[in-house]
Structure 1
Amino acid sequence: MNLEQLRGFAEVAQSGHFTRAAERLHLAQPSLSRQIAGLERELGVELFHRLRGNVTLTRAGERLLPIARRMLADAEAAREEMAELAGLRRGRVRLGATPTLCTSLVSEVLAEYRARHPGIEIEILERGSRSLISALTEGALDLALIVTSVSSGAARAALESEAILGERLVVVSSVAAPDPFGSGGDGEVPPGAPEAPAPALGGPRAGAVVRAEVGARALPGAVGLRELAGVPQVRFPENYDLRVAVDAAFAAAGLTPSVAVEGAEMDAALSFAERGIGVAVVPAMVAAERPLLRARPIADGLRRTISLARRADMSPTHASAALQALIRETADRLAASGSPVAHLVERA
């Protein structure tokens, strides 16, 4: 039994005539007759009384008709549902991202995605990179933005990962307090240092001062690791990807950083830095969103690579494929010459 047989059966029942039903279905009358005969053989019952060209339903046909109509309606609803998904009018996408990316790159991406595809539901999982990799391998996410390489052999086999953006790490301090690295508290920079307001991702925003071009190792106004280690810092929890990277840099240089506050989450760390409690090492795009903070590049070239990962054995849905393309598009736009944050990031 197939949908074409059921459609032919319902049309004959509606019109009471094989020839008229065949015309409405754009079929030859013998073809329609063969469809109905095949359906009757399969079900083992006669569906119509055939009398001199006119047909009426048998008792079995009367029982089948409402079932056939429901099945045809369900099939049409399924077609419409799939068409909506294919046209990105409905659906859901599950995106994982680290907390620092949720406040910068992800917010930029999702604002554009919602404008383009308002019918798509977005589910966000905000975790560290290792947790996101686990969620991907378990099938709990469609995509994830991570800042840790996929290191285990099992994860590498299960996931596809591509680097999309490189981002400088900067050290931030309060604009209301004297600069702990030498310049005044009014946002001045040493002679020769390029000074510009660090804008929000979507446009200009006055406040923080960024003194670096991406890719430079030692620039005017930049802070060396040894200098940074001597200033009290607001430190993230030990399981933070950012904390792990910074600790590794200090350890490689044989340095032990001075600590003001230990274990602060990102929002708290930024707030503490704004109040002058200590300095914090944060991603450059996060610093660009905080007008009460001044930002200096780290002379030793500390940076992180942002990667987009997904399950290798799962075909992307239309919704997740569109989001994946928009993430790449946004990364290209942010790193392009003339972008408000082009001096903070580079295309990986």
Structure 2
Amino acid sequence: MQIQQLAYFVAVARTRHFTHAADECGVSQPSLSKQIRVLENSLGTALFVRERGAVSLTPAGEALLPHAQEILIEVDEGLRAVREVSGLQRGRVRIGATPSMWDGLMSGTLAAFRAAHPGIELEVTEGGSRTLTRGLGRGDLDLALVIVPLRAGDPDLVATPLLRERLVLARPAGTPSRFGDDPIAVADLEGVPLVTFREGYDLRDTTTNACLDAGFEPTLAIEGGEMGAVLRFVEDGLGYAVVPPMVLASRPGLRGTPIERPRLTRTIALAHRRTEALPLASQAFRRMLVEHLGATADEPGGPEVDRA
């Protein structure tokens, strides 16, 4: 049984005439009649009573008709749904990123994507890189902005580097500080009270490892905060924090001191599962995100971007 045969059957049932049904379906009358006979043979029963000048449904035809109509409706709706998705009129993007990326990178991309594709549902998740890679592995996310290299034991992911940014030391603005706008060395952080992030944030490990590599244990003023809390603690003068400069753009109460010896950086990558093709809506979001990052990099003082 084929969909086209059901379409011919419904057309004949509606018009009660083989020639009229053939004209409606855009085929020759012999071709339509042949396909109806093939359908009847496959079912093992006649569907029409054929009399001179008249066509009527047999009991078997009456029984098949509502089901055939429902099947054709479902097929039509399925094709329409596919066309809508392929045309980005419908769909869903499940995207994850760290708090700093939502504040500094993603808001502009979300707004632009929403304006371009209002029918696409956006589902966002905030968390550290470890949490996001676990979400990708479980199939809870389509895309995630994570920090590379990925940690051992992460799921089988594809991670395309997009942006490399230099880290700075966040300090309160407008108050006396031992640091200014001139670059400092990591060794200058010895004994400095630091506000650190909770477990799972790459910035916590980056800060700790940089201090250990310089030969000293970091001095922790407050430990275990989220991005918003960490920045607020620095504003309140409770300590300093190593952060990406993008998060300071909306914080007039903070300034950033460059760290140059050695230069501290992090690389942000767009990750997804290796074994699954990205949905069309996610592909479109990825393209727009890369374009947005490229525009950000072109601005004075913007981050370094690896265009993928």
Q: For the superposition of Structure 1 and Structure 2, which TM-score range results when normalised by the shorter chain? A: over 0.9
Shift of residue 333 of structure 1? 1.2
Shift of residue 28 of structure 1? 0.9
1:7 corresponding residue in structure 2: 7
**Is residue 255 of structure 2 the alignment partner of residue 294 of structure 1?**
yes
| 2-structure distance, mates of 1:288, 1:255 | 31
2:293 corresponding residue in structure 1: 331
Are the equivalent residues in 2 in contact too, given 1:242–1:282 (CA < 8 A)?
yes
| 1-structure distance, mates of 2:136, 2:142 | 7
| 2-structure distance, mates of 1:32, 1:284 | 70
Are the equivalent residues in 2 in contact too, given 1:48–1:56 (CA < 8 A)?
yes
The TM-score, its normalising length taken from structure 2, stands at 0.94
Find the residue that maps to 2:197 and give its secondary structure. coil
Look up the equivalent residue of 2:237 and give its one-letter code: G
1:169 corresponding residue in structure 2: 167
| 2-structure distance, mates of 1:108, 1:229 | 37
Are the equivalent residues in 2 in contact too, given 1:163–1:308 (CA < 8 A)?
yes
1:309 corresponding residue in structure 2: 271
| 2-structure distance, mates of 1:274, 1:3 | 67
Look up the equivalent residue of 1:231 and give its one-letter code: V
Q: Which moved more, 1:81-90 or 1:260-269?
A: 260-269
1:202 corresponding residue in structure 2: none
| 1-structure distance, mates of 2:98, 2:33 | 63
Find the residue that maps to 1:313 and give its secondary structure. coil
Shift of residue 137 of structure 1? 2.4
Are the equivalent residues in 2 in contact too, given 1:95–1:141 (CA < 8 A)?
yes
Alignment of structure 1 residues 171-250 onto 2, 5 Å: 171-181=169-179, 183=180, 211=181, 221-250=182-211
Q: Deviations over 1:182-217 (max 9, x none)?
A: x5xxxxxxxxxxxxxxxxxxxxxxxxxxx5xxxxxx
1:110 corresponding residue in structure 2: 110
| 2-structure distance, mates of 1:31, 1:256 | 85
2:218 corresponding residue in structure 1: 257
CA distance 1:254–1:154, change in 2 (3 Å): closer
CA distance 1:238–1:130, change in 2 (3 Å): closer
Q: List runs of 5+ in structure 1 lacking aligned partners.
A: 184-210, 212-220
Are the equivalent residues in 1 in contact too, given 2:131–2:200 (CA < 8 A)?
no
Are the equivalent residues in 2 in contact too, given 1:236–1:266 (CA < 8 A)?
yes
Alignment of structure 1 residues 259-274 onto 2, 5 Å: 259-274=220-235
CA distance 1:238–1:79, change in 2 (3 Å): closer
Find the residue that maps to 1:235 and give its secondary structure. strand
| 2-structure distance, mates of 1:29, 1:97 | 60
Shift of residue 40 of structure 1? 0.8
1:198 corresponding residue in structure 2: none
Shift of residue 78 of structure 1? 0.6
1:345 corresponding residue in structure 2: 303
| 2-structure distance, mates of 1:24, 1:263 | 71
Look up the equivalent residue of 2:165 and give its one-letter code: E
CA distance 1:283–1:94, change in 2 (3 Å): same
Look up the equivalent residue of 1:291 and give its one-letter code: P
Are the equivalent residues in 1 in contact too, given 2:296–2:302 (CA < 8 A)?
no
Shift of residue 84 of structure 1? 0.8
| 1-structure distance, mates of 2:87, 2:141 | 21
RMSD value, Cα: 1.6
| 2-structure distance, mates of 1:135, 1:265 | 19
| 2-structure distance, mates of 1:86, 1:62 | 37
Looking at secondary structure, tell me which structure has more helix per residue.
2
Look up the equivalent residue of 2:303 and give its one-letter code: V
Are the equivalent residues in 2 in contact too, given 1:143–1:320 (CA < 8 A)?
yes
| 2-structure distance, mates of 1:18, 1:263 | 77
| 2-structure distance, mates of 1:251, 1:154 | 25
Are the equivalent residues in 2 in contact too, given 1:18–1:53 (CA < 8 A)?
no
Find the residue that maps to 1:164 and give its secondary structure. strand
Are the equivalent residues in 1 in contact too, given 2:146–2:270 (CA < 8 A)?
yes
Shift of residue 129 of structure 1? 1.1
Are the equivalent residues in 1 in contact too, given 2:134–2:154 (CA < 8 A)?
no
Shift of residue 136 of structure 1? 1.6
Shift of residue 3 of structure 1? 1.1
Q: List runs of 5+ in structure 2 lacking aligned partners.
A: none
**Is residue 74 of structure 2 the alignment partner of residue 74 of structure 1?**
yes
| 2-structure distance, mates of 1:150, 1:257 | 24
Look up the equivalent residue of 1:249 and give its one-letter code: A
**Is residue 134 of structure 2 the alignment partner of residue 134 of structure 1?**
yes
